[in-house]
Amino acid sequence: MWESDQTHRILVNSPTGKPLLPWLLWYHGLHTAVGAEIMVRSLFRSVFGQKTKNRASGSRDLSISDSIKDAKVGDVFTIQGLSLEYDDIYFFIEKIDRYENASGEWYEITGVDGDNQVWAEWSQGDNLFVTATDNRRPVGLSRIGLSEEDLIRLDEENSIDNFIDVDNERYFYRASSEASYFKDNSGEGDRFYLWDFISEDERRVLSVTKWEGLPFESFFSEVISPGNVTLYKGDRPKLRS
């Protein structure tokens, strides 16, 4: 179910510009909480679906962005292409973190919709590269068949010809380096070490991290076409002329 604070933020800052919260309060008085959530989702679909149609007709600027790079906390986005189907779900962006290493920076967006949650990362090199996952539960090194000594060797050799096999799938080494994590894109940053691998078909990414005082952690994510992410912008401060 929707958490109360999250619900308040989403509904008061609705895409129509009008508070939807009274509708939810009225509905709670007549129906169950489950019914209220269904109603809210229907409202979101009708509003955003209408926006998409209006944008195609070119009638007016409806604050829809084709790039995840424009995301801000409070925006809403949809995502297609994940193994689990989320095509009909509008995720509210409650958090944006930044990462940085010697090669550049990348961002992680946390999107929520009731019990559903996704994490999407993007970086801009020669092209926009986007990955996403709905499972941030880490696995240990033994689960992916690596040891600390293996990671040290991979780091020292720094060769993209190196690979590992995980669950009958081959992952090629891409890079390893010290990196910094900036929670909510602020502060001085916390340092950690990162190893990145990409599957042979280039559809999945395996990241291994090591934070001081914590065990090695491994995470899997899926490569998503940037065109499969649609961003619906929330309120933006108007710049003075």
* Tens of pLDDT, residues 183-237: 999 999 999 999 999 999 999 999 999 999 999 999 999 999 999 999 998 876 6
Whether residue 14 is found in the same domain as residue 73 = no
Q: What is the pLDDT of residue 7?
A: 37
Whether residue 45 is found in the same domain as residue 73 = no
Mean pLDDT computed over 156-185: 97
In a domain, 237, yes or no: no
pLDDT at 53 over 60: no
Name which residue leads in pLDDT, 240 or 192.
Answer: 192
Whether residue 47 is found in the same domain as residue 146 = no
Whether residue 107 is found in the same domain as residue 17 = no
Whether residue 47 is found in the same domain as residue 78 = no
Q: Which tens digits make up the pLDDT trace of 85-131?
A: 787 899 999 999 999 999 999 999 999 999 999 999 999 988 999 99
Find out whether 208 and 141 touch, Cβ atoms under 8 Å.
yes
**Please, which pLDDT band fits residue 54 given cuts at 50, 70 and 90?**
very low
Which range marks the domain in which residue 52 is found? 4-61
Whether residue 74 is found in the same domain as residue 49 = no
Whether residue 183 is found in the same domain as residue 222 = yes
Whether residue 38 is found in the same domain as residue 139 = no
Name which residue leads in pLDDT, 88 or 33.
Answer: 88
**Please, which pLDDT band fits residue 176 given cuts at 50, 70 and 90?**
very high
Nearest to 107 by CA among 154, 78, 68, 74: 68
Whether residue 107 is found in the same domain as residue 222 = yes
In a domain, 239, yes or no: no
Whether residue 56 is found in the same domain as residue 73 = no
pLDDT at 18 over 70: no
User: What is the percent of the chain with per-residue pLDDT over 70, rounded to a whole number?
Assistant: 71
* CA angle, residues 174, 93, 63, in degrees to nearest 5: 105
Which amino acid appears at position 206 of this protein? L
Distances (CA, A) of 152 to 70, 193, 195, 240: 37, 11, 10, 53
Whether residue 125 is found in the same domain as residue 201 = yes
Number of domains in the chain: 2
214 phi and psi angles, rounded to 5 deg: -120, 155
Average pLDDT, the chain: 79
pLDDT at 12 over 50: no
